[in-house]
């Protein structure tokens, strides 16, 4: 009886199977393909697959022959934090917030370029698959991945080395990024421009700062509590200390690295002395009230110049929690989004070899997603500067060639 019920369906099933192959042998013309692209190729801000700014997605780590000039890569890792977790969801949320950016509407008036329609092939490489269980393995995974991506061939002749832009993830990912740059650039000195609300260079400083009130800082021995139990030196507050120990940063007094936006509590003046000994110069968040954004810009450019290799690291907590509450270690008294973007635009002449935006923890932001929108805008501004700098380098190269003739 049941078989009889199925009999009328069988011819229809056969018809359906037959129809599935109706267009298999069709030869599509270039005009037809162009028409399909014109009809269906555009994504609205709220649609499409969630890549950064609707860029093409390439699994760069498994497609080693894919060339690019600038690669967006996510590092969803947050098990090296010392306070609030959640930054592992940063890459996904930043990409989501970048949906309003699009190559067809990416023109940046301040720079007079569209970074997404210019000389640089920019791709979204997806995320590095990072274990959330073992930090030693995690840092090896990040280091190897960024080394491989940093050695990729470029499309344009403007740069022989691609630039990597990493979306965090907690701030510990900057150490693997600097290790990768060392592999790529060898003995060339690299300086860092580090925007952050906290100063965490000594081995245990950040561990302490997140666990003590101002009343304890005057007498606290930075080795007393941590040394009893012992701890791994790898965390989101020790990466520049480790980088210094590994010789990844410039140790020349004429080429120091720069912190900007600092405003946290310290264990004591020794923290600043340790910082200076590791070849860093500091700009506090309060400096903006005395010298303005232009003073911050001029100070940074005077130190870093336009020819030295610079890695730019942005901890989103450089912004005041009023503008970016979605972060793991919020520090009141920071810069506004407008002030910070103004500073980023003013340092567009830096010779950037890579960048990151880290510590975006979307679970702590408001319903308006202000933190991730700010982070996506920061990425856009830095990409704009990278592309504009490339055009300037091309112009200098063309001029040099003409002079030789």
For the chain, the straight-line distance linking the first and the last C-alpha, in angstroms and rounded, comes to 92
CA 400 vs CA 25, 37, 351: distances in Å: 54, 41, 19
- Return the bridge partners of 314, or none: 195, 357
| 383 prior amide bond cis, ω within 30 | no
Q: Which residues neighbour 207 within 8 Å (Cβ) at sequence distance 6 or greater?
A: 82, 226, 231, 235, 237
Rounded Cα distance between 322 and 332, Å, is 8
Size (the chain), residues: 405
Among 333, 311, 217, CA closest to 257 = 311
398 is in an annotated binding site: no
- Answer whether 354's CB lies under 8 Å from 176's CB: no
Strands 351-358 and 70-75: unpaired
Per the annotation, does 96 bind a ligand? Answer: no
Q: Rounded distance, CA 266 to CA 198, Å?
A: 9
**Preceding amide of 169 cis, omega within 30:** yes
H helix intervals, 151-197:
174-185
Residue 317, marked binder = yes
Cβ-based neighbours of 26, under 8 Å, separated by 6 or more: none
Give strand ranges (E) for 204-308: 257-262, 280-284
Beta bridge partner(s), residue 399:
none
- Residue 78 marked ligand-binding: no
The answer to whether 171 is annotated as binding is yes
**25 is annotated as contributing to ligand binding:** no
Task: Pick out the residues of the known binding site for Mn(2+).
Answer: 171, 196, 216, 218, 315, 317
Task: Pick out the residues of the known binding site.
Answer: 171, 196, 216, 218, 315, 317
């Amino acid at each position: 009886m049941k078989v009889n019920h199925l009999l009328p369906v069988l011819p229809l099933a056969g018809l359906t199977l037959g129809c599935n192959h109706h267009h298999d042998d069709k030869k599509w013309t270039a005009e037809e393909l162009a028409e399909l692209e014109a009809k269906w190729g555009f994504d609205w801000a709220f649609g499409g697959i969630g890549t950064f700014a609707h860029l093409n997605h390439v699994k760069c780590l498994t497609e080693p022959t894919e060339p690019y000039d600038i690669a967006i890569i996510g590092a969803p890792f947050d098990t090296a934090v010392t306070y609030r977790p959640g930054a592992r969801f940063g890459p996904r949320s930043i990409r989501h917030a970048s949906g309003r950016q699009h190559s067809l509407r990416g023109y940046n008036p301040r720079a007079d370029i569209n970074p997404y329609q210019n000389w640089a092939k920019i791709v979204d490489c997806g995320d590095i698959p990072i274990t959330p269980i073992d930090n030693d393995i995690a840092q090896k995974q990040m280091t190897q991945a960024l080394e491989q991506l940093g050695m990729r061939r470029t499309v344009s002749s403007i740069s022989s080395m691609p630039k990597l832009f990493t979306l965090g993830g907690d701030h510990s990912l900057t150490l693997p990024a600097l290790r990768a740059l060392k592999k790529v650039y060898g003995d060339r000195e690299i300086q860092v421009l580090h925007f952050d609300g906290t100063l965490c260079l000594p081995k245990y400083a950040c561990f302490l700062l997140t666990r003590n009130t101002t009343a304890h800082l005057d007498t606290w021995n930075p080795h007393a509590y941590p040394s009893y139990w012992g701890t791994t030196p790898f965390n989101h507050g020790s990466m520049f200390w480790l980088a210094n120990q590994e010789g990844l940063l410039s140790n020349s007094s004429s080429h120091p690295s720069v912190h900007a936006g600092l405003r946290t509590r310290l264990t004591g003046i020794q923290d600043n002395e340790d910082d200076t000994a590791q070849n860093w110069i500091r700009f506090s968040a309060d400096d903006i009230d005395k010298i303005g954004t232009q003073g911050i810009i001029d100070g940074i450019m005077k130190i870093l110049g336009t020819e030295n290799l610079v890695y730019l690291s942005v901890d989103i907590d450089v912004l005041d929690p009023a503008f970016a509450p979605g972060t793991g270690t919020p520090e009141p008294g920071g810069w506004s989004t407008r002030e910070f973007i103004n500073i980023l635009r003013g340092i567009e002449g830096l010779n950037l070899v890579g960048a990151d935006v880290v510590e975006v923890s979307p679970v702590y932001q408001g319903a308006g997603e202000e933190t991730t929108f700010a982070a996506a805008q920061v990425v856009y501004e830095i990409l704009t500067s990278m592309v504009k700098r490339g055009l300037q380098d091309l112009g200098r190269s063309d001029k040099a060639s003409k002079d030789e003739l």
